[in-house]
Amino acid sequence: MMDDFGLYPREEAFDPLGVMLFKALQVIAFLFFLALLAVSPDAKDGKIDSKAEFIITMDWPDNHPDDLDLFVQDPAGNIAWYRHREAGFLTLDRDDRGGANNSIVVNGKKIASPIREEIVTVRGIVAGEYTVNVSHFQATTGQPVAVSVKVQKLNPTAQVIFDNKLTLVHTGEEKTALRFWLDAEGKVVDVQQRQKSLMETFRNVRANGADLDPKTGVRMPRRE
C-alpha cells in the first residue's frame, strides 16, 4: 500500500503536557501585552494630573443667567472669593457671573458657553476646619436656583467626600454647603453642614477697624 512507502503523512501521538505548556505561553504573552499597554505613553492621553490636594466645585444649571459665588475659608482664616482668588493654599479659578461673562465675540459672532461653574483648589494641607459657602450675588429670574457642591480629595487616590445640592432663592442669600475638618496628614476627620456666615466675617472685619481692599480682598488697615 502507498502508506507503506510513507506517501501519506502520519498523525503524531497526542502530547497533553505539550499542549498545556503552549497554552500557558499564550496566556503569559497576552498578559505581557496588556502590561505594555498599561505603561505605554499613548495610554495616558487625556489624563489630567492635578497637583492639588482637594478640588471644591460649585455648579448650577447650564445657561442660567443668575450670578452665584463660591467662598472657601481655610483654618487660618484665609478666604478665596471673587475679589481675592488666591488666599493661602486656596485658589479660585474664575468668577463665573452667569449670563454676564460666559460669552466672547469672534469675527463679529457671539459665542456663548453654557457652563456655570466655579472651582476652588486646595494646594496644601493645613489642619483644621474648612468652610464652603455659596452666595446668590444676583437673582435675575426670580426663581429658586439648584446649586450642586462637590468636594474631592485627590491624594493618594481620588475620593468624593461630599456631593450634595442646595437651593438659593434671592439676591444676597448665603448658605453653608459644608464644613469639613482635616488632620495634620490631610485626612478628613469630620464633615458637617452647620451654617456659618462668611459675609458676617467680612462685616466683623470692617467693624473692628479694617477694610477689604476692593481689588484684592486683602484686609487693609482703616484710614482715619
When computed from its CA atoms, the radius of gyration of the chain, rounded to whole angstroms, is 30
Give the mean pLDDT of 148-169. 96
d(CA 60, CA 99): 12
d(CA 55, CA 93): 11
What is the assigned CATH class of domain 54-215?
mainly beta
For residue 211, pLDDT over 70 is answered with no
Give the mean pLDDT of 141-154. 95
Compute the mean pLDDT over every residue in the chain, rounded to the nearest whole number.
81
Q: How confident is the model at residue 170 (pLDDT cuts 50, 70, 90)?
A: very high
Which pLDDT belongs to residue 5? 45
Task: Please state the domain extents for the chain.
Answer: 54-215
Higher pLDDT, 167 or 95: 167
Higher pLDDT, 188 or 27: 188
Beta bridge partners of 190: 181
d(CA 182, CA 75): 9
**CA dihedral over 87, 90, 91, 94, signed as positive or negative:** negative
Q: How confident is the model at residue 181 (pLDDT cuts 50, 70, 90)?
A: very high
Which pLDDT belongs to residue 150? 98
Q: How many CB atoms lie within 10 A of CB 58?
A: 25
Give the containing element (helix H, strand E) for 155: none
d(CA 186, CA 53): 8
- Residue 189 zone, left/alpha/beta (φ > 0; ψ -120 to 50; rest): alpha
Q: Is the pTM of this model over 0.95?
A: no
Helix (H, G, I), strand (E, B) or coil at 5: helix
pLDDT in tens, 84-138: 999 999 999 988 888 778 778 888 888 878 899 999 999 999 999 999 999 999 9
CB 116 within 8 A of CB 100: no
pLDDT in tens, 5-28: 444 454 555 566 665 666 666 767
Which pLDDT belongs to residue 205? 58
Give the containing element (helix H, strand E) for 158: none
Range with the poorest average pLDDT among 21-35, 140-154, 165-179: 21-35
Query: What is the percent of the chain with per-residue pLDDT over 90, rounded to a whole number?
Result: 54
Range among 10-19, 44-53, 63-72, 197-206 rated most confident: 63-72
pLDDT in tens, 75-98: 999 999 999 999 999 999 988 888
d(CA 129, CA 132): 10
d(CA 129, CA 193): 12
Residue 120 C-alpha cell reads as 476652588
